[in-house]
Amino acid sequence: MRGKRQIAFNWKKLVAGLAVFLLLALGAFWLYVQWQTYPAEAAPLDAIRAEAQLTITEENNHFVLTPRAVDPDKAPVIFYPGGLVAPEAYLYKLGRAALCLEITVYLVRAPFNAAIFHLNAAASIMDRYDLERAWVGGHSLGGIAACRFTAANPERVGGLFLFGSYCDRDIGAFDGPIVSVMGLQDEIINRENYERAKANLPATARIKEIEGLNHSDFGNYGLQKNDGKSELEDARVIEIICQVFQ
C-alpha cells in the first residue's frame, strides 16, 4: 500500500511541475512577443484619438472606429493587423479611411499580436454587431488570416482585401470582390510566395502594385527591420487605402 501511495503522490508532483513549466513558458513567450512587437507611433495615434469626427471604442478583442457620418449603404470593414505589430499602429490610417469612406471599421486585437491565432475574429465581430456581410482583410500575416477566414466562410464575406500580403490557399470559388495592394518598395514580403500565391486568386481579383509604397506604410509603427524605404506621405497611403473600397 505504501508503494502505491508513493507512486500516486509522485504523479501529482509531476503534473503540478508540468503545469508550472507550461505557465512559465507561456509567460516567457508573452514577454518575448511584447519585446518584439512594433508599437504605434505616438504622434499619429494622439492625432486620431483627438479627431472630433471619429469615435474610437476599445473592446476586449477589437477596436471600433465609427465616423460621425456613416453611409448605411456601405459595408463595414474588418481588419486583421500584421504579425508582431500593435493594433493601435493601424488606428491613424484606418481612422482616416473610415472618415473619407463614411464606414465603420473594426480592428482586430489578436493573441500574441498574431492574427493567425484568431482566425474567427471576423465571425465574432459580425455576430456581435449583427453584420450580414463585411469587407474582410488585413496587412501581412493579417491578410493570410483573412484569406483563411474567407476560404472557410465565403458566404459571410462581402469583399476581401490584402495589404502587403497574399492568400496561402485557393479562394477561386469566392465570388466577391478581391483587391490586393502590394508596394514595390516592400522588402519584407517573400516575393516568391507572393508571385506563386497569385494562382490562388480568381481571375477577377484586382492586383495593385504601387511604386514607392513599402511594407510598413500600411500602419504607423516606423520602418520595419529590413523593409525598403518609403517614398510616400501618409496622406497618399490613406488615399490608396480608400480607393480599395470605392
For the purposes of burial, counting CB atoms within 10 Å of the CB of 48, is it exposed (0-12), middle (13-18) or buried (19 or more)?
buried
Residue 113 has pLDDT above 80, yes or no: yes
pTM comes to 0.88
Asked if 22 and 59 sit in the same domain, the reply is no
CATH number at 222 reads 3.40.50.1820
Asked if 169 and 56 sit in the same domain, the reply is yes
Q: How confident is the model at residue 11 (pLDDT cuts 50, 70, 90)?
A: low
> Closest by alpha carbon to 230, among 208, 243, 215?
215
* CA 242 vs CA 53, 96, 181, 235: distances in Å: 17, 9, 12, 11
Least confident of 32-46, 86-100, 104-118: 32-46
For the beta carbon of residue 32, count every other beta carbon within 10 angstroms.
Answer: 11
Asked if 114 and 195 sit in the same domain, the reply is yes
3-state secondary structure 100-153: HHCCCEEEECCHHHCHHHCCCHHHHHHHHCCCCCEEEEEECHHHHHHHHHHHHC
C-alpha cell recorded at residue 21: 513549466
Q: What percentage of residues in the chain have a pLDDT greater than 90?
A: 83
Residue 235 CB partners (closer than 8 Å, separation 6+): none
Residue 12 has pLDDT above 80, yes or no: no
pLDDT at 239: 98
Q: How far is CA 9 from the centre of its chain?
A: 47
pLDDT at 173: 87
Asked if 208 and 125 sit in the same domain, the reply is yes
Residue 5 has pLDDT above 90, yes or no: no
Tell me what the mean pLDDT of segment 92-116 comes to.
96
Give the total number of structural domains in the chain: 2
Asked if 14 and 125 sit in the same domain, the reply is no
Q: Which DSSP letter does residue 95 get?
A: H
Asked if 148 and 63 sit in the same domain, the reply is yes
Range of the domain at 160: 39-244
Asked if 30 and 50 sit in the same domain, the reply is no
> Closest by alpha carbon to 181, among 113, 126, 237?
237
Residue environment code for 115-135, b if the CB has 16+ CB neighbours within 10 A, otherwise e: beebbebbbebbeeeebeebb
Residue 119 has pLDDT above 80, yes or no: yes
Residue 75 has pLDDT above 70, yes or no: yes
**Looking at per-residue confidence, does 55 or 172 come out higher?**
55
Asked if 103 and 136 sit in the same domain, the reply is yes
Q: Taking all residues of the chain, what is their mean pLDDT, rounded to a whole number?
A: 91
Q: How confident is the model at residue 30 (pLDDT cuts 50, 70, 90)?
A: very low
Asked if 95 and 206 sit in the same domain, the reply is yes
Q: pLDDT tens for residues 123-159?
A: 999 999 999 999 999 999 999 999 999 999 999 999 9
C-alpha cell recorded at residue 15: 503534473
- HSE value, Cβ hemisphere, 13 Å, CA-based, for 238: 17
- Which residue type does 125 have? I
Asked if 7 and 45 sit in the same domain, the reply is no
pLDDT at 29: 43
pLDDT at 19: 62
Asked if 45 and 112 sit in the same domain, the reply is yes
Residue 187 CB partners (closer than 8 Å, separation 6+): 214, 215, 226, 227, 228
Asked if 192 and 237 sit in the same domain, the reply is yes
